[in-house]
Amino acid sequence: SDVSASDNCDDSLETTIISALVPLDCETDGFLQWQQVVWSATDDCGNTGSFTLNILVQDTLPPTLTLTDSIFQGFSSGDTVIVNGCLPFSLPSITVSDNCDPDPTGSISSSAMPLECTPEGFVEWIQTTWTVADHCNNTTEFTLNFLRRDTVPPQLIPQTPNVLGLSSGDTLILPCDSLPPFVPEDFRAVDNCTDSVEVLLSAFLVTFDCEATGFLEKQQFTWIATDDCGLQDFFELVVLFVDTVPPEFIFVPPPDTNQCPGDFVFGDPLVVDCSGFTLTHEDVQVGDGCPAPSTITRIWTATDLCGNTSTASQTVTNIPPPFTLAVIAPPDTSFACHENPQFGAPEIIIECPVGLLELTFVDSPAPGDCSVPFSITRTWTARDQCGNEASDSQTITLGPDTQPPVFDPANPDTLTVDCAAMSSPPLVTDSCGSVSLSFTDSTLMGDCSTGLLIHRIWTATDLCGNAADFPQVLLTGPDTVPPVFTFVPETAFFDCEDSLFFLQATAMDVCTDVEITFTDTVIGVPDCDLGIGWEVRRIWKATDACGNMAFDTSRAIVIPGLFNGNPIAFIHLPADRELACGEMPDFGQALAASICGPVSISYEDSTEPGCMGTRQYIRTWTATDTCGHAVSAVTTLTRPDDTEPPVFSFLPEDKEMPCGAVPQFDNPAALDECSGV
């Protein structure tokens, strides 16, 4: 349809079209392709006409570049983009299209130029150019200029133990002698735009009145990091210094002496404290001073700025000039042991002008035995007020002991006493030591009912075996006083598996020997399976030689489960039983015991009906001790059913009645063992 054909004879021509396409090298030929198109028309007689067209295709349009990222929409080639921060950033995405080349080639080139931080904060200029060419070297360029702006300050990072774990603005309270050596290197600064950031440290000091505020001073430390654009990071730390440690005396003059009558010059101590201090002193004198011995103690007090104090002292002893002092003791002497020796008084020779301070003595015995004398040495010591001291001794020797003890002549030869007073001893003395008394008795006549006539010989013996005897006759009255128990076992508790035992009771009698016997009584019927214990009651009897008797009681109680924690149990429970007909219910009395003290027993009664009224009587016992522990048990009394009929105890005899008489029957009598009839 692109061409038309006509013929002088044929009105309807057949038309054909032939096309040939030859690709070309655009870079060398200047054309993309060559195309030849031939149209042909043929009439009915076979005559043919043709039209040929040669087409050369050129590409003169460069590729098109389009920014696809939304944040770059509206930017044109040559525009400038501001980038905040110095971290790497992503270039915008670009799509490329060409009307002839489906796959144009491209490249990206960038150039950067650092800037001295401008007033606007720009630190780097970067130009990026995208270049795209199609087959025919039609080229398109797209250029964006990027300006980096530094908006992020540097960051201080702790590096040393001085600041690790701390936060900016923290306040530390430290002793005044323990300030950490803060330095700029405590922190490292990092910045996204500046390669190397210097850290500076500044300190600010404020001094306080420590006694009023509790703090010596305040130091504020500030680490500062500044990048090339003047952006800064700060780390502030406040340190309050306290002083709770008193000043320390590192040197104190040692104790010294001063020879009277000279004057002593005290030395100076050395004191250290982290806050400064004042040093005062006070002198304390003991004694009157020269020429008498005396001491002067200088007490230094160091007080620091926070009121902490410490003291130290130096003592100087004044030594008086030498004066004579002598003690002359009495001569040594010897005495018999029954004599009463006395020490004499020593003679004192003294030159000290202020007199004697004290005279003391110490006695030192030298032990002997009954055949060898013993001695006592007294040593006197004199001290004058000039500090001199002198001693001397006297020794007194006593013994040996050859004399027996002596009974007092006032001791009676005959005594009338009751048997309780038969041991009253006579009076006896010994001039050399203590005495032991013993006696032997022999009964001359009498018995318990009438009294006794006893011949007693007392023997007194001293420590050396010297002895003397004293005979005495004792008349006693009848012995009617029973013995007295001196020990009776307390109540003991056992478990079911234990073997019961009693400790032995003891008794004494003031007149004769005592015999102890006992009888045991078992109370209760044990049933450990049901938790019922029992008691063994032991009655002790003490009998003296005259038949006088005394009694006491011990108890051994078995509580089932005692050693498993059960403290209470019934030790006697009335048994279940059957009542006889007509018998009134009588339960008896239950008994209980507890390791916790006295037990109170209460009960509740109930009944169960049977054939003839009441059949079973049930009593529930409850035992409670003083600690609140409780245990319960049941006793049942059973009345059997009444199955036996009454028995006639009297029946009227048969008798004959006259004809026409009205019959009269006598009344019979009947009995029943369980109820009325």
Report d(CA 278, CA 184) in Å as an integer. Answer: 36
Arithmetic mean of pLDDT, 78-88: 83
In a domain, 464, yes or no: yes
Residue 234 has a pLDDT of: 95
In a domain, 642, yes or no: no
Comparing 263-277, 359-373, 453-467, 653-667, the range with the smallest average pLDDT is 359-373
Q: Of 117, 149, 181, which residue sits at a domain end?
A: 149
220, 289: one domain:
no
503, 526: one domain:
yes
Q: Of 149, 178, 198, which residue sits at a domain end?
A: 149
Highest mean pLDDT out of 62-71, 129-138, 577-586, 644-653: 129-138
71, 145: one domain:
yes
Highest mean pLDDT out of 362-371, 431-440, 545-554, 606-615: 545-554
Model confidence pLDDT, tens digit, residues 345-375: 888 888 777 777 788 999 887 776 676 667 8
102, 176: one domain:
no
In the structure, what pLDDT confidence band is assigned to residue 612 with cuts at 50, 70 and 90? low
- Look at 614 and 328; give whichever has higher pLDDT: 328
Report d(CA 216, CA 240) in Å as an integer. Answer: 7
Q: Please report the DSSP string for 359-396 in residue order.
A: EEEEEEEE---SSS-EEEEEEEEEEETTS-EEEEEEEE
- Look at 659 and 211; give whichever has higher pLDDT: 659
139, 188: one domain:
no
Q: Of 317, 349, 375, which residue sits at a domain end?
A: 317
237, 163: one domain:
yes
φ, ψ of residue 327 to 5 degrees: the values are -120, 125
Q: What does the longest C-alpha to C-alpha distance in the chain come to?
A: 208
Residue 124 has a pLDDT of: 83
- At residue 421, does pLDDT exceed 60? no
Arithmetic mean of pLDDT, 112-132: 85
Element (H, E) at 212: helix 210-213
Comparing 102-111, 390-399, 431-440, 594-603, the range with the smallest average pLDDT is 431-440
Pairing of strands 187-190, 171-175: unpaired
338, 391: one domain:
yes
382, 352: one domain:
yes
Comparing 281-290, 440-449, 609-618, the range with the smallest average pLDDT is 609-618
Q: What's the token pair of residue 460? A: 């007194």
Residues ≥6 apart with Cβ < 8 Å to 573: 524, 525, 532, 590, 621, 633, 635
In a domain, 621, yes or no: no
In a domain, 649, yes or no: no
Structural domain boundaries, residue 461: 406-476
159, 238: one domain:
yes
Number of compact structural domains in the chain: 7
Q: Please report the DSSP string for 474-491 in residue order.
A: EEE----PPPEEEE-PPP
Model confidence pLDDT, tens digit, residues 386-415: 778 889 998 888 777 778 889 999 898 888
Residue 218 pairs in a beta bridge with 206, 240
Residue 371 has a pLDDT of: 67
pLDDT above 90 covers a percentage of the chain that reads 29
Report d(CA 132, CA 105) in Å as an integer. Answer: 6
In a domain, 667, yes or no: no
Residue 540 pairs in a beta bridge with 518, 552
CATH number for the domain that contains residue 236: 2.60.40
Residue 236 has a pLDDT of: 95
In the structure, what pLDDT confidence band is assigned to residue 423 with cuts at 50, 70 and 90? low
Comparing 85-89, 209-213, 583-587, the range with the smallest average pLDDT is 85-89
Model confidence pLDDT, tens digit, residues 593-602: 998 889 999 9
Report d(CA 263, CA 261) in Å as an integer. Answer: 7
- At residue 310, does pLDDT exceed 90? yes
CB 191 within 8 A of CB 227: yes
In a domain, 615, yes or no: no
Closest CA to 673 of 654, 645, 638, 631: 645
Arithmetic mean of pLDDT, 474-478: 80
Residue 513 has a pLDDT of: 78
Burial of 91 (0-12, 13-18, 19+ CB in 10 A): middle
Arithmetic mean of pLDDT, 171-187: 86
- At residue 268, does pLDDT exceed 80? yes
CB 559 within 8 A of CB 593: yes
Comparing 125-129, 136-140, 428-432, 564-568, the range with the smallest average pLDDT is 428-432
Mean confidence (pLDDT) of the chain: 86
User: E-assigned strands of 208-355?
Assistant: 217-226, 232-242, 248-251, 256-259, 270-272, 277-286, 294-304, 309-319, 325-328, 333-335, 347-350
In a domain, 674, yes or no: no
460, 518: one domain:
no
Residue 167 has a pLDDT of: 92
Residue 26 has a pLDDT of: 85
220, 290: one domain:
no
- At residue 554, does pLDDT exceed 90? yes
Pairing of strands 248-251, 270-272: antiparallel
How far CA 421 is from CA of 207, 407, 418, 425, 460, in Å, comes to 94, 20, 6, 10, 20
Element (H, E) at 211: helix 210-213
Structure letter (DSSP) for residue 29: H
In the structure, what pLDDT confidence band is assigned to residue 200 with cuts at 50, 70 and 90? very high
User: Which amino acid, residue 490?
Assistant: E
In a domain, 379, yes or no: yes
259, 298: one domain:
yes
- At residue 1, does pLDDT exceed 70? no
CB 152 within 8 A of CB 87: no
Residues for the chain: how many in total? 677
Annotate 390-429 with b (16+ C-beta within 10 A) or e (fewer).
bbbbbbbbbbbbebbbbbeeeeeeebeebbeebeeebebe
Arithmetic mean of pLDDT, 493-511: 87
